[in-house]
């Protein structure tokens, strides 16, 4: 191997154009290490690729004090700190940590003559805490010891513990990806999002886990520990984290719940803690779905239980807010339609839906819930059941259209029978046509599962045709997606009568 140097970074690399270029975005960003900003070289930027934050390795070399070697022939990078060695190869998702193989979510890449590596993977393996604030476009890196992050937030919980009945304790976890014998284990889970609706906490993850739940007193609270879990890179898009990797949901309209706190509680092993702060003792009921990777902690229960409750009417605590469920079509193992330039529908629907969610979160009278906020696949039945269980006021499923012919173009909106659904469809469609500028293909009735099985006003939006080159070009642009998201929100607000 040749010694990795700034000269090689500036002069030796060539630009590699990847098929997934459309999913990568350069951002004007900052990197904060232990509270101090790291100077970014001119022309070098953090990139977000497939929802993973990628950092120029040059910054790792100069500021994180890791030893890095580059092999031009093999396109391989070796990163070393003390006795730990990580090897990565450009455009390969397989990496090694101390000789043991692990799999990355996103492979290292070369952009603008600079090698980009997944900062979360590198930093976690090297003992740093990482968070990404998508609002400020800032990467936070925190070094330090391996103790609990305890300074008065969700990481501190003392008092009498009321054991949780029938909740099994998971086995101890080791370094994510490697067990004590050096064999590959399950990868680290990610917490993608939190919502509190109808006196229920909804926790969305990218992997199935067994939570550890306890009721504590003085003060009263319910503590949910998520083992082998860290925050997803995109978590900060929805719920910004501070430099200590802590945050909270401020709630209103719930007489017995004052707030929901969350933090990275420990990192050896990794564990996220979520605390529901109560004004008085409260029972809960846990349900979880291994396919959609969602946990629901229902505080409307009369006694503690971790069994999956039947989907029957349950008295809820009204908050006075309107509940909107946004359903990004497809996801996970179901990519949806393939666009004319080989992009997946599931990526388009998630991108638009996250923008809708971001706008709705600014509305003080609306609670928004996503059927998925990452690349997972809840079944059609699970999407409808979630909306029904939450007694949602509105359900909106977002899709991209396709046709064997490349000629069809335009926007169309579907509803199923109910007059309330037709009214919602007409209102949202009106805004979509104005925003997209595409052909008006009309509002239509169709027996589609998610709008047929939901019990509230429900629509399915076909924003444009992925099979049409003109439509597709616009559909994957941020400007178009922002216009579409705002149109959907405008339609929802008009229908709900929210100012």
Catalytic residues: 462
The CA distance from 217 to 288, in Å, is 25
- What does each C-alpha distance from 340 to 347, 399, 401 come to in angstroms? 14, 16, 12
Q: What is the DSSP letter of 99?
A: T
Residues, the chain? 499
Bridging pattern class, strands 94-97 and 200-205: unpaired
Torsion of CA 356, 359, 364, 370, to 10 degrees: 30
Instruction: Order the strands of the 161-162 sheet from edge to edge.
Output: 161-162, 212-216, 221-227, 270-278, 257-267, 246-250
The CA distance from 232 to 236, in Å, is 8
The CA distance from 331 to 352, in Å, is 13
CB 201 within 8 A of CB 194: yes
Residue with tokens 């890095």: 68
The CA distance from 419 to 415, in Å, is 9
């Amino acid at each position: 191997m040749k010694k990795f140097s700034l000269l090689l970074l500036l002069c030796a690399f060539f630009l590699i154009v990847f098929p997934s270029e459309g999913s990568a975005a350069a951002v004007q960003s900052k990197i904060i290490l232990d509270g101090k900003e790291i100077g970014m070289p001119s022309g070098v930027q953090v990139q977000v690729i497939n929802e993973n934050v990628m950092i120029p390795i040059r910054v790792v070399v100069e500021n994180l004090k890791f030893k890095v070697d580059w092999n031009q022939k093999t396109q391989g990078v070796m990163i070393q700190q003390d006795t730990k060695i990580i090897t990565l190869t450009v455009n390969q998702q397989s990496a090694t940590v101390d000789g043991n193989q692990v799999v990355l979510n996103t492979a290292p890449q070369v952009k603008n003559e600079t090698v980009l590596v997944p900062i979360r993977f590198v930093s976690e393996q090297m003992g740093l805490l990482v968070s990404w604030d998508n609002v400020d476009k800032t990467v936070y890196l925190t070094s330090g010891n391996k103790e609990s992050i305890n300074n008065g937030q969700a990481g501190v919980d003392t008092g009498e513990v009321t054991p949780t009945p029938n909740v099994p304790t998971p086995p101890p976890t080791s370094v994510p990806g490697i067990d004590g014998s050096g064999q590959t284990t399950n990868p680290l889970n990610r917490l993608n999002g939190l919502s509190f609706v109808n006196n229920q906490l909804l926790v969305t993850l990218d992997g199935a886990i067994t939570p550890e739940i306890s009721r504590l007193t003085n003060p009263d609270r319910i503590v949910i520990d998520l083992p082998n879990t860290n925050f997803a890179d995109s978590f900060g898009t929805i719920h910004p984290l501070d430099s200590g990797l802590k945050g909270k949901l401020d709630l209103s309209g719930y007489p017995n719940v004052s707030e929901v706190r969350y933090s990275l509680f420990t990192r050896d092993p990794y564990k996220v803690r979520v605390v529901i702060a109560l004004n008085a003792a409260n029972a809960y009921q846990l349900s979880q779905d291994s396919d959609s990777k969602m946990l629901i902690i229902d505080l409307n229960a009369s006694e503690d239980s971790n069994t999956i409750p039947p989907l029957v009417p349950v008295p809820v605590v009204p908050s006075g807010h309107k509940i909107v469920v946004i359903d990004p079509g497809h996801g996970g193992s179901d990519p949806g339609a393939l666009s004319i330039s080989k992009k997946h529908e599931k990526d388009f629907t998630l991108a638009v839906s996250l923008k809708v969610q971001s706008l709705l979160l600014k509305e003080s009278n609306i609670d928004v819930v996503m059927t998925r906020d990452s690349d997972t696949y809840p079944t059609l039945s699970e999407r409808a059941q979630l909306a029904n269980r939450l007694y949602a006021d509105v359900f909106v499923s977002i899709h991209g259209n396709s046709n064997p012919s490349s000629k069809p173009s335009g926007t169309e909106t579907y509803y199923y029978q109910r007059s309330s659904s037709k009214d919602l469809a007409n209102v949202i469609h009106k805004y979509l046509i104005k925003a997209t500028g595409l052909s008006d293909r009309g509002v239509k009735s169709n027996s589609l599962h998610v709008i047929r099985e939901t019990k509230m006003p429900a629509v399915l939006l076909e924003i444009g045709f992925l099979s049409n080159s003109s439509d597709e070009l616009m559909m994957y642009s941020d400007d178009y997606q922002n216009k579409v998201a705002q149109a959907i929100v405008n339609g929802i607000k008009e229908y709900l009568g929210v100012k």
